[in-house]
Structure formats: structure tokens, C-alpha cells
């Protein structure tokens, strides 16, 4: 199966599952929990990347030219949580949520703009949550509105399924 065919199959799967999703109290609680985990992991990743950026900037300022031109890329991905070909394919095809810093950033990266944290992403898939005043973070929107994961997939996630990575390029 070609990637485009697989992605189309996964989009249809998501549409079908989301169409029949029931926003029960327990499902809303689980969505809220996963959203909190993604928000927490986003902030932890930002903090870790900022620390590394500050350390690299100090090394460069002290004359260590080896680090000049660095870039930092951080990502959050969802790892398979069950033996299911659709889930494994989603985890392969789904782009991770990413943030980047570089030496060329003139000032300290702004948390709110980088994490798109100033807005509530309770749009599209998450519109039914508006009446519960749940602040949906951008990472949640990335995976479950823009991405290939269905709302029902959120119910099967826990913190161990959500991984962060950081890569330094020099």
C-alpha cells in the first residue's frame, strides 16, 4: 500500500471513529488527562531545550567556536499502545509535534508563541468541549485534530505512550 493510500485509510478511520465518539463524562475526563500530559510534556521539552540553548550560548560566548551555528529540534510523539496495525501505522505516519531553537535566535524564545499556548485550541474536533471550559493545548490539537489519531485513541493513552526527544545539530 502506498503512503498516500495508507494515509487516506487512516483519515477515513479517524473520521468514522470521531463521528461515533460519545463525549461522556468519563471520556471527557480521559481527554482532559491526555491534554494535561501533552501540555506538561510540551513545557518540559521547552524548558529542557531552553536550558541546552542557554548552555550552548554560554559556551559560544566564552569562545568555544565548535558550537557555532547549532540548532535544537525537540519533538513529542505518540508511541504504539497496543498491538493493532492501524495504531502502529498511525504512529509511523503521524508527524511528531516539533519545536526548534537555534543560535540565530536573537533573544530568549517565547514560550507562549512557540507552544501556541495563548490560544485555546478547542476548535474542530474539540468544539464539543467548549461548554466545559477545557483549555485544549496546541499539541493535543496537532495530534487529534490536524493529525491522524481519533478521539477514541486518546482513551487508550497514558503518559508512557507520549515521548519527548531532543536533537542538537552543530
pLDDT greater than 90 at residue 73:
yes
* Span 157-167, average pLDDT: 95
* Span 122-145, average pLDDT: 94
The predicted-structure confidence for 16-68, as pLDDT tens digits, reads as follows 999 999 999 999 999 999 999 999 999 999 999 999 999 999 999 998 888 88
On average, the pLDDT of the chain sits at 92
* Span 106-120, average pLDDT: 82
Angle at 57 between CA 51 and CA 60, to 5 degrees: 145
Give pLDDT, residue 38. 97
How many CA atoms, within 13 angstroms, populate the side-chain half-sphere of residue 44? Answer: 12
Q: Pull the grid cell for residue 68.
A: 557555532
* Span 104-117, average pLDDT: 80
pLDDT greater than 90 at residue 12:
yes
pLDDT greater than 70 at residue 106:
no
Amino acid at each position: 500500500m502506498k503512503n498516500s493510500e495508507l494515509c487516506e485509510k487512516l483519515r477515513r478511520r479517524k473520521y468514522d471513529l470521531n463521528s461515533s465518539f460519545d463525549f461522556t463524562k468519563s471520556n471527557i475526563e480521559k481527554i482532559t488527562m491526555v491534554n494535561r500530559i501533552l501540555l506538561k510534556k510540551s513545557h518540559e521539552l521547552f524548558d529542557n531545550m531552553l536550558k541546552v540553548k542557554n548552555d550552548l550560548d554560554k559556551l559560544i560566548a566564552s569562545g568555544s567556536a565548535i558550537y557555532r551555528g547549532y540548532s535544537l529540534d525537540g519533538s513529542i510523539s505518540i508511541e504504539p499502545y497496543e498491538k493493532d496495525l492501524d495504531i502502529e501505522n498511525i504512529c509511523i505516519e503521524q508527524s511528531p509535534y516539533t519545536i526548534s531553537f537555534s543560535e540565530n535566535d536573537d533573544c530568549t524564545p517565547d514560550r507562549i508563541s512557540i507552544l501556541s499556548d495563548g490560544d485555546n485550541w478547542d476548535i474542530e474536533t474539540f468544539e464539543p468541549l467548549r461548554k466545559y471550559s477545557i483549555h485544549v493545548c496546541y499539541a493535543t490539537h496537532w495530534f487529534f485534530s490536524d493529525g491522524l489519531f481519533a478521539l477514541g485513541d486518546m482513551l487508550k493513552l497514558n503518559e508512557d505512550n507520549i515521548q519527548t526527544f531532543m536533537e542538537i545539530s552543530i
